[in-house]
Amino acid sequence: MIPSQDVVIVGGGLTGSRAALAIAQKYPHLRLALISKVHPIRSHSVAAQGGMAAALGHLDETDNWLDHAFDTVKGSDYLADQNAVAVLTQAAPPTVRALEKLGVLFSRDEEGRIAQRPFGGHSHPRACYAADKTGHAILHELVANLLGQPNVTLLAEWYVLRLIYEDGEVKGVVAYCLETGTVAAIPSKAVLLATGGYGRVFGTTSNDYASTGDGLYLVAREGLPLQDMEFVQFHPTGLYPAGVLISEAVRGEGAYLLNDRGERFMAHYEASQARMELAPRDITSRNIALEVAAGRGIGGGSYVHLDVRHLGREKILQKIPFAREEGLRLAGVDCIEAPLPVRPTAHYSMGGIPTDPDCRVLDRHSRPVPGLYAAGECACLSVHGANRLGPIPCWNARCLASGPAKPWGGRCWIVPSPRFRSQPIKSKPKGRSPIC
């Protein structure tokens, strides 16, 4: 039997783990359970490669949150919620610094500052990264910190089957333990869904096998709406034929996209002439599709080449080691010697569970559903509009930007409900911990 909770977080990726840590640290009297169908460090977030955008202004002192906000809104085809974008782009630099303070090993520039590199659609170099293993570096640090929190119960390899939704409010979840087969109702004053995207509905995708849109199902099952489901981002450089991602960081480091004639075809299209390989993802994906449709895919096939040979062995091994490893392992190509075969792959779900900037899930009349919150890739705030600029997703919730108790506008998502003014937890529940 799992005791009733103050907060249940469904999902242990960057979103769920960050939210759990922030809540556990700010509100040590709250009882919190983090439920994840895979162990948190196996969440899809661990695959995030290229970095997280923040206008720190290290490489380019003229960079600032306004430019970051403008790039984000422009990249979204002007469909993003501009208030949300302003909040998130201002929150990005303190978020990166907070993660650094937590222990995340970001890559450094020559002067020892957090390194920043260019990314598609960004007008300044502002992606902060840990080589090409950024998600791995951040998630491991978050989970390591989370494990030491006395008020957090980790239910790893537990599968949430449905919400407990009665009288118009969410009162907990029903979950299934994969190891024992136990089905348990877990009452909770609040439920935060951080269940990730739905990329697995596509045949060619960069997403892991767990990205099946479960949070969206949980919400839709109760008759609550979903939003902008048609907005799915295709990443231009999925490794052919596997679909796994060759990070945008590779183009950030200077890779060329070549057609069958060996031409850098991005120069042939007006929308990408200025930024070439660093044009936004939708433009780059469309251009690849147009080249293929015109018969200029490699050998007339459905892919083009991503060429990094001119970067040289040392830079490839130092800056993009994982991309090389993927090419070797999944396509049998060593990118030091030969170009990688790539084509667009379903990558990021911009649509999802409609929320306000406090992560409150909205019903079809745009009213918050008491007790239900959503954040991360499963949520639709909508900060990405029709097209997300990489790399932004980890902040598409207030609770992630600076922790729930450092609110914007004097509020934070965990505080408003009087239901949280519960009795302090004096100690952890006795008996065997339900941690799997």
Catalytic residues: 281
Sign of CA dihedral 279, 284, 290, 294: positive
The answer to whether 206 contacts ligand FAD (rule: CB under 6 A) is yes
DSSP secondary structure code for residue 328 in this structure: I
Closest CB to ligand FAD among residues 253, 377 = 377
The answer to whether 121 contacts ligand FAD (rule: CB under 6 A) is no
- Beta carbon of residue 118, minimum distance to ligand FAD (angstroms, whole number): 13
- Beta carbon of residue 307, minimum distance to ligand FAD (angstroms, whole number): 20
DSSP secondary structure code for residue 430 in this structure: S
β-pairing, 127-128 vs 52-53, is antiparallel
Count CA within 13 A, CB hemisphere, residue 428. Answer: 13
Site map 319..358 versus ligand FAD, x via CB under 6 A: ----------------------------xx----------
The answer to whether 255 contacts ligand FAD (rule: CB under 6 A) is no
Which of 387, 392, 384 has its CA nearest to residue 52?
A: 392
Strand residue runs (E) in 167-315: 169-177, 183-193, 232-239, 256-258, 304-307
**Structure-token pair, residue 176:** 């299934």
- Beta carbon of residue 97, minimum distance to ligand FAD (angstroms, whole number): 17
Q: How far apart are CA 74 and CA 104, in angstroms?
A: 30
Helices (H), 352-435: 398-402
Report the site for ligand FAD in 24-53 (rule: CB under 6 A).
35-38, 40, 43-45, 47-52
- Beta carbon of residue 273, minimum distance to ligand FAD (angstroms, whole number): 26
The answer to whether 359 contacts ligand FAD (rule: CB under 6 A) is no
**Residue 119 phi, psi (nearest 5):** -145, 150
Closest CB to ligand FAD among residues 50, 327 = 50
Which range binds ligand FAD by CB under 6 A, 206-214, 261-269, 300-308, 402-410? 206-214
Locate tokens 């509020």: which residue? 411
The answer to whether 159 contacts ligand FAD (rule: CB under 6 A) is yes
- Beta carbon of residue 330, minimum distance to ligand FAD (angstroms, whole number): 12
Judged by CB under 6 A, the residue of 153, 207, 355, 382 near ligand FAD is 207
The strands making up 116-117's β-sheet, listed across from edge to edge, are: 52-53, 127-128, 116-117
The answer to whether 236 contacts ligand FAD (rule: CB under 6 A) is no
Report the site for ligand FAD in 289-318 (rule: CB under 6 A).
none
- Beta carbon of residue 427, minimum distance to ligand FAD (angstroms, whole number): 27
- Interface with ligand FAD (CB under 6 A), residue total 43
Which range binds ligand FAD by CB under 6 A, 59-67, 210-218, 288-296, 363-371? 210-218
Strand residue runs (E) in 119-264: 127-128, 152-156, 158-166, 169-177, 183-193, 232-239, 256-258
Which range binds ligand FAD by CB under 6 A, 1-9, 97-105, 188-196, 360-368? 188-196
Which of 375, 352, 354 has its CA nearest to residue 9?
A: 375
Q: How far apart are CA 41 and CA 14, in angstroms?
A: 9
The answer to whether 377 contacts ligand FAD (rule: CB under 6 A) is yes
The answer to whether 210 contacts ligand FAD (rule: CB under 6 A) is yes
- Beta carbon of residue 363, minimum distance to ligand FAD (angstroms, whole number): 21
- How many Cβ atoms sit within 10 Å of the Cβ of residue 141? 19
Which of 279, 227, 242 has its CA nearest to residue 390?
A: 279
Q: Which residues pair with 392 in a beta bridge?
A: none
How many residues comprise the chain? Answer: 436
Name the site residues for ligand FAD (rule: CB under 6 A): 10-16, 35-38, 40, 43-45, 47-52, 134-135, 159-160, 194-196, 206-207, 210-211, 214, 245, 347-348, 376-377, 390-394
